[in-house]
Structure 1
Amino acid sequence: MKGKTKRESQTVLTQRMLPQDANPAGNVHGGVTLKYIDLAAATVAMRHCRSNAVTVSIDRMDFLKPVFVGEVVNFKASLNYTGSSSMEVGVRVESENMFTGEKRYCASAYLSFVALDPNGKPREIPPLILETDEDHRRWKEAEARRTLRKTERKRERESQQRAVGRTTE
């Protein structure tokens, strides 16, 4: 399968935040931010694999600064890593005050996706072609997160199995 570069799938989703996006404190609700992060990341994943792709996990969702109603928010998403059917997408969230021009780095997240065939089964995806030093750095960091996710999943399964064993005894 022919590989693809990060540039072939990256995207910027721009959204103006309106009053219905606010939480009780008057800032943009974190769930609204998460929705757009997932949408931008899914766009990247689906562009890369040219098929349906579903979110498997969200890692390191960091809210760094608030987003305010009325601001324009850019959700910058790009591919960091590919496996045989899975991929990691990084999303950087930046807000812009329309009146002052001030821009702030507000949030970031790493999301894992699996590509699906028409029957809903995992399918092979194109490998990611690494072009720059930054691409290589992001790949290595994504590999480390992937290893950590697998270790955590295994530990959680074992813990759940032990808990089930205690309740049936």
Structure 2
Amino acid sequence: MTRRIRPRPRPKPHPHPLQLYSLRDICTIRILRFASSPELLEQYTNASGGLRTGMLMEHLDSLAGSIAYKYMLGPEVETLGRVQERGFYIVTASVERLDMLAPLYPVRDIRLSGQVICTGKSSMEVAVKMEALNPNRREETLMLGRFSMVCRNASTHKAHPVNLLIINTREEKVLFKMGESARNRRKYAALHSLSRVPPSSTEAAELHSTYLKYGQDDESLALGDRVWMGDTLLEKTMLMFPQERNIHQKVFGVYTYQLGFANSCLFTRSHVSFLSLDGIAFRQPVPIGSILRLRSQIIHTSPPGQLPAAVHVRVQASVVDVQTGQEEPTNDFRFTWTRDDGQTVPRIVVPRTYQEAMLWLEGQRALKMGTQIRGSRLQGRDR
């Protein structure tokens, strides 16, 4: 008998054919004209007369999403349209860092910009920048950050391929390597996370030294220079309204920033300034109408007498099921603040359990990493 060979089925055409783009093709800019618009400035002014950093960070998150969509749809596209018609959607996988490099003065216009600097099969690294526009002077970089965006199929919710990136100039090569380094750093951090491997000998020695000095029941507690980590817990519960939704009908608000800020002020007994967003772990989105519970904890502080006086805060977000009372974790935020008055942190936070000890070491790692990154970026800016 002759074996019948069936013709191989033709692949279905991709609903969104892949394109080739260079780094200069996709660059999005937004200007907040605080200097010329008192009405706009009023919307962003905080209680101390400065700018609401949490709102600016939310703008940067929205900007990163817009850049990712423009990279997929083309620089000429102005509106997204329906996600199902496009065949894909984009979500924020993680925020590696957002570092404050200079003070925020509300009398200057601010420019927000960003671009795709590196791509994978279904992911994009987006670098964002916030600059102050000074008359008759060059722009001053206020904040730098990186977002990792992933593309998903609108029907299957599986990985969706992204456009190919062309690297031509020396500057583009530098940016591409920066994006690759960010991805490699995330992989390394995941592999060496304290949830996977034990702390290093140096970290174990520092933790034990802190325990010997502050973790025992002696006169240090009476002097008020020690606070147990469990006693720094600050909570907030709220209902999510439609006004907070994004294009996917989910929530990304400034509530976590506000709670972390309040906790830092209470702990330091001083007004604080934002230093960095050290990372966000996104587990699942927060739908409209859900009840959101936030828990904030101080997990590390600068050693007594050290400047700048930094406080590292963890804010956990979870959605509460009204009928069962069960909570489902959604996001894990890590922030760092510093005292405005130039004084040191008056108290030190001390872990009591092994789980808190691992959080304490995570906070220590974040403070060291932040100091190193901000120092290198400031040196590069001054050259």
- TM-score over 0.5 (shorter chain): yes
Segments of 5+ residues of structure 1 without an aligned counterpart are: 164-169
* Rg larger in structure: 2
**Which residue matches 1:108?**
144
Distance in 1 separating the partners of 2:96 and 2:106: 26
Higher alpha-carbon deviation: 17-26 or 73-82: 17-26
Percent identity among equivalent residues? 25
Counterpart amino acid of residue 91 in structure 1: V
Q: Which runs of 4+ in 1 moved over 3 A?
A: 100-103, 154-157
Structure 1 residue 65 and structure 2 residue 102: aligned? yes
Structure 1 residue 28 and structure 2 residue 51: aligned? yes
Offset at 1:4? Answer: 1.3
Alignment partner of 1:137 out of 174, 180, 183: 174
CA distance 1:91–1:13, change in 2 (3 Å): same
Q: Could you report, residue by residue, the CA deviation over 1:114-163 in whole angstroms, capped at 9, with x for unpaired residues?
A: 0122133320001211121111111112111101101212333526xxx7
SS in 2 for 1:26: coil
SS in 2 for 1:141: helix
Segments of 5+ residues of structure 2 without an aligned counterpart are: 1-17, 35-40, 74-87, 198-354, 356-383
| TM-score of the two chains, using structure 1 as the length reference | 0.82
Aligned residues: 159
Offset at 1:101? Answer: 5.2
**Which residue matches 2:196?**
158
**Structure with the higher helix share, 1 or 2:** 1
Distance in 2 separating the partners of 1:25 and 1:132: 44
**Which residue matches 2:128?**
91
CA distance 1:101–1:28, change in 2 (3 Å): farther
SS in 1 for 2:96: strand
SS in 2 for 1:158: coil
Higher relative contact order (CA 8 A, sep 6+): 1
Higher alpha-carbon deviation: 31-40 or 15-24: 15-24
**Which residue matches 2:76?**
none
| TM-score of the two chains, using structure 2 as the length reference | 0.39
Distance in 2 separating the partners of 1:47 and 1:56: 17
**Which residue matches 2:29?**
12
Counterpart amino acid of residue 21 in structure 1: Y
Q: Could you report, residue by residue, the CA deviation over 1:45-102 in whole angstroms, capped at 9, with x for unpaired residues?
A: 11112352111122231111222334321111111100000011111111225xx555
